[in-house]
Structure 1
Amino acid sequence: MRLIFMGTPDFSVPALEALIAGGHQVEAVVTQPDKRRGRGKEMQMTPVKTAALSHGIPVLQPEKVKNNPEFLTKVKEICPDAIVVIAFGQILPKEILELPKYGCINIHASLLPKYRGAAPIQWVIIDGEAETGVTTMYMEEGLDTGDMLLKTVIPIEKDETGGSLHDKLAAAGGPLILETLKGLESGALTRMPQVGETCYAKILTKALGNVDWSMDAEAIERLIRGLSPWPSAYSHLDGKTVKLWKAQVCEEDLNGDDVLPGEIVGVSKDSIFVKTGKGLLAVKELQLEGKKRMDAGAFLRGYSLKAGDRMEE
């Protein structure tokens, strides 16, 4: 097919590479404008732009796609059979949605209709879901509400993090969009309206990672995994921020009700045991501000902790 591809972050790149390798004509890539990043505030291209240029594909970077006659004219000139969208970062207007013969097809990182929205990868872990996946769907003016086409199911492992699940779902998007386009061209696919239970995966903020120790240990452990590597879960020790990278729920909590959530009840050679609202959490990897990420044993060799010390919000 003759395609326009719209995407921005690392998550989008495997789908673009799959379309190119699959023999589709990607006539243009649309991505967000370059931004200044890092300590040096140097201008950086988006990962999708970098990938497109490596294949010699023209790149368009409109500040906005709505109410942009120049961009609309360019899309009409290309006259794509389909527009493939994955983590682009802007809502497409009706004029663009109605242009392609086979429609605008979105690759969404959840099993719709559950987890519409900006951060489905992290929220399925935080919420304790057993599985997730990738859905291809027709785009419409609503947010992730269009008719579904195909799905791939991915089990969520016990030790899954936001980072590891991101990579699995990104890799799954390529084969699924190839199968979807093939089915659209042959007429073999059936549109499936989104019916049943739904929920919204709201955007991640740094504040979300501030651990509330009155939560139960299982919920905190999932929060730590879901927010790894970004924006990360964190707490405070002696007024300093400490990021929490890995933890385990203890099978037994032998401490009485007089121990308050957030209190450190003991340490071992490889764990820091913290009381929660329900159960005990063994912190295994952490990172004090200004220091490197390290396992609890290495941390304890350089930072003295004892029973009665506290993790503070």
Structure 2
Amino acid sequence: MRILFMGTPDFSVPTLESLLDSEHEIIGVITQPDKPKGRGKHIIFPPVKVVAVENEIPVYQPIKVKDPEFLDSIKALEPDLAVVVAFGQILPKAFLDIPKYGCINIHASLLPKYRGAGPIQWAIIHGEATTGVTTMYMDVGLDTGDMLLKETVEIEPNETGGSLHDKLSVIGGPLVIKTIEALIEERLIRKPQNNELSTYAPMLNKEMGNIDWNQPADTIERLVRGLNPWPSAYTHYEGKLLKIWESEVVLCDTLNTPCGSISEIREEGFVVKCKEKGLLIKSLQLQGKKRMSTSDFLRGHQVQIGQELCQTIE
């Protein structure tokens, strides 16, 4: 098959590599425009473009996919199929209709659950036991197309957004190859999504990492894992932002102190009182400092029982 690949971040790369290793012809890669990054504002290629250039595949970087000139250039390629993985733009019907066999998307959830931009992190935050990857035919809706194949994985007790991202990214490639094989052999079954069972996984932002200590410790612990490594969960300590990287739910001394106060200091860290139980902070990062174990942090800071961590800087 003559395949167009569409993707942008690291998550997309393993699928592109699987297609490159297959018998199919990758006739072009469509990705987001290059962006400046870092203090020097150096122009950085999207990860997918790096792989495409290394393999001498033509690269297209439209500012808007609906641009008529871009659509004409894609029509001229006469693609059989488009494979889309975390591309970053909504595809209009004018584009979806170009490939002979349509557009197949790899989505990092077990649809119809967790449609949207943040399915990996929200599955952890909501305490799901499993998640996975779904291939689907794309339509004009947001992750609403007919489902094709799925692969399920367990979410481990210590799973972070980063570790689950990496786990799911390597599943997509083999699954899309199976999907394409079934398509060629005319044994691919389309299953419409049940909209009543759908949930939405909105895009992540830094503000959602601001810890509300009036929540149960279990809820906060999942937030810490789900937002690791980005945008990260955080609180404030002595007027400075304090990122929380690793934590554990523990029984908490029920002192008559407010939620968010330090109720106990242990060898491996300190315990913060929550609405239910407590949260043992095991790894953190104070504003302007490197990430460290809480035990190391305690050796350099006079943390006191009863001291409060705050949502905002007072």
TM-score (norm 2): 0.98
Q: 2:290 aligns with which of 289, 292, 297?
A: 292
- How far apart are 1:260 and its partner, in Å? 0.8
Helix, strand or coil: the match of 1:57?
A: coil
Q: Which residue of 2 aligns with 1:216?
A: 216
AA in 1 matched with 2:135:
T
Q: Which residue of 2 aligns with 1:49?
A: 49
2:112 and 2:144 in contact (8 A); partners too: yes
AA in 2 matched with 1:238:
E
Q: Which residue of 1 aligns with 2:137?
A: 138
- How far apart are 1:254 and its partner, in Å? 2.7
Describe the superposition over 1:80-111 as per-residue Cα deviations: whole angstroms up to 9, x where unpaired: 11000010000111111112121100000000
Residues 1-12 of structure 1: pairs in structure 2 closer than 5 A: 1-12=1-12
Describe the superposition over 1:185-207 as per-residue Cα deviations: whole angstroms up to 9, x where unpaired: 11111100001511000010000
2:20 and 2:26 in contact (8 A); partners too: yes
Establish whether residue 270 from structure 1 lines up as the match of residue 268 from structure 2.
Answer: yes
Describe the superposition over 1:47-66 as per-residue Cα deviations: whole angstroms up to 9, x where unpaired: 00001101110100010001
Q: Which residue of 2 aligns with 1:151?
A: 150
AA in 2 matched with 1:39:
R
Q: Which aligned runs of 4 or more in structure 1 are off by greater than 6 angstroms?
A: none
CA distance in 2, matches of 1:186, 1:101: 15
Helix, strand or coil: the match of 1:171?
A: helix
Residues 1-313 of structure 1: pairs in structure 2 closer than 5 A: 1-66=1-66, 68-195=67-194, 196-250=196-250, 252-256=251-255, 258-313=256-311
Q: Point out the more displaced range, 157-166 or 69-78.
A: 69-78
AA in 2 matched with 1:186:
E
CA distance in 1, matches of 2:276, 2:266: 21
- How far apart are 1:304 and its partner, in Å? 1.2
Q: Identity across aligned pairs (percent)?
A: 55
Describe the superposition over 1:65-87 as per-residue Cα deviations: whole angstroms up to 9, x where unpaired: 01x11111111111111000010
Describe the superposition over 1:277-300 as per-residue Cα deviations: whole angstroms up to 9, x where unpaired: 111110000000110100011011
AA in 1 matched with 2:161:
G
2:3 and 2:80 in contact (8 A); partners too: yes
Q: Any unmatched runs of 5+ in structure 1?
A: none
Helix, strand or coil: the match of 2:101?
A: coil
- How far apart are 1:306 and its partner, in Å? 1.1
- How far apart are 1:253 and its partner, in Å? 2.4
CA distance in 2, matches of 1:278, 1:94: 49
CA distance in 2, matches of 1:85, 1:157: 27
Describe the superposition over 1:224-245 as per-residue Cα deviations: whole angstroms up to 9, x where unpaired: 0000000000000011000000
AA in 1 matched with 2:19:
L
AA in 1 matched with 2:276:
K
Q: Any unmatched runs of 5+ in structure 2?
A: none
- How far apart are 1:154 and its partner, in Å? 0.9
AA in 2 matched with 1:178:
I
2:10 and 2:47 in contact (8 A); partners too: yes
Query: How many residue pairs align between the two structures?
Result: 310
